[in-house]
Amino acid sequence: MNINSTNPFQFIKNNQIDSIKIDDNISIISKATFNGCSNLKEVILPKNLIKIDEFAFSGCTNLTEIAIPEGTEEISTRAFADCKRLIKIILPNSIKKLGRAVFSGCENLEEVILPDTIQELPEELFLNCKKLKKVILPKNITSLPYAFFKGCKSLDIILSDIIDTLGDRCFDDCYKLEHFPQKVFQFGKYCFHNCRNLNNININVNTAKLPNGLFDGCLKLENIIYDGTTLSIGKRTFRNCISLKEIPSFISNLNERAFENCLSLTDLKVKTFVIPSACFRGCKNLVKLNIDGVNKIGTYAFSGCKRLKEINLENISDIGAEAFSNCTSLKKVILGQIDVIKINTFMNCTY
């Protein structure tokens, strides 16, 4: 089918179109022109193309490959999003700008080369590209934005040494990621959430804080190296790190749910004054607990620590609700002068 002009929403959800050739005189493909054309398999773009507008080919679920002609400068928001069978896309060196989530949901996309002419990368560019294995980034890029590779379950990538900043959820659900970027020192929240193969990590000495949920769900994370003095952590930073055997000595604080469900923690010595809510909840193999310097224990702090048998709370003045609930092996508790003890502190401690 020959296309001599494009207008916004012109062929939206037209299931009769399977092949198009767009006239060379057309320089802009309008907003959502071919959005949802689920039977479209072949596209020949015009030689004089400058811009592909937002949602232009979004949801073209049978499109398998496309070549963007030289001279094209911009591909706008979600232009090829949810093209679920798209395997190959060739980007020219003329591309200067990519919009948000351009390739989001392209589940079969395997390899992309981003030209060096791109000065800034958009959010969610490869969101849920489940089979993406190889990406070459522009050489001058120093940061990756929000959810850039989120859901890229097949990706393992070694980042350039000049990249120093990663946005929130940048590598969230990247199951095969093994290479931790050692030059990065600014991390967004949940940046490596559910990176199941991330193992040994070396944190850049210029890092000041490990934010909320940074390593939540990193099931193989065992060793953390940091050559600085101290690091602060946010909420849920190491939650569900089931292979983590000890709290790193350089960590300066605790936070809510920070080590929840860390199943390999067995021996714990706490140096802070307060243990926050649910900080060690579900640490089922925790046996030994030294909290001599602590004076306050938050809600659910040790709930579900099923192997904990004995605790000394002589210096504790404030214990939160259900702090030791479901500690089913707990036999001995030494109490001091308690100012506040909340409801169900020792609920279901059957001994």
**What pLDDT does 340 receive?**
72
**What sign has the CA pseudo-torsion 56, 58, 62, 64?**
positive
CATH dotted code for 269-351: 3.80.10.10
Model pTM score: 0.94
- The residues near 27 (Cβ < 8 Å, ≥ 6 apart) are 46, 48, 49, 50, 51
Could you read off the pLDDT of 228-243 as tens digits, one per residue?
Answer: 999 999 999 999 999 9
Chain segment 244-271, per-residue pLDDT in tens: 999 988 999 999 999 999 999 999 988 8
pLDDT in tens, 46-56: 999 999 999 99
- Count of other CB atoms within 10 angstroms of residue 195: 26
Residues in the chain: 351
Q: Of residues 351 and 121, which shows the higher confidence score?
A: 121
For 79-134, the pLDDT digits (tens) are 999 999 999 999 999 999 999 999 999 999 999 999 999 999 999 999 999 999 99
Instruction: Tell me: pLDDT of 339 over 80.
Output: no
Say what the pLDDT of residue 292 is.
81
User: Other C-beta atoms within 10 Å of 11: how many?
Assistant: 19
**Domain layout of the chain by residue ranges:** 1-141, 169-264, 269-351
Domain 1-141 = CATH 2.60.120.260: no
Contact between 151 and 130 (Cβ < 8 Å): yes
Q: What is the pLDDT of residue 213?
A: 98
The tens digit of pLDDT for each residue in 21-42 reads 999 999 999 999 999 999 999 9
Segment 159-175 shows an average pLDDT of 97
Query: 272 falls in which pLDDT band (50, 70, 90)?
Result: confident
3 state SS of 27:
coil
Query: Distance between CA atoms of 332 and 346, rounded to whole angstroms?
Result: 11
> What does the pLDDT read at residue 270?
85
Q: How many angstroms separate the CA atoms of 337 and 333, rounded?
A: 13
Percent above pLDDT 90 for the chain: 87
d(CA 281, CA 275): 11
pLDDT-derived band at 293, boundaries 50, 70, 90 = confident
In the prediction, which pLDDT does 146 show? 98
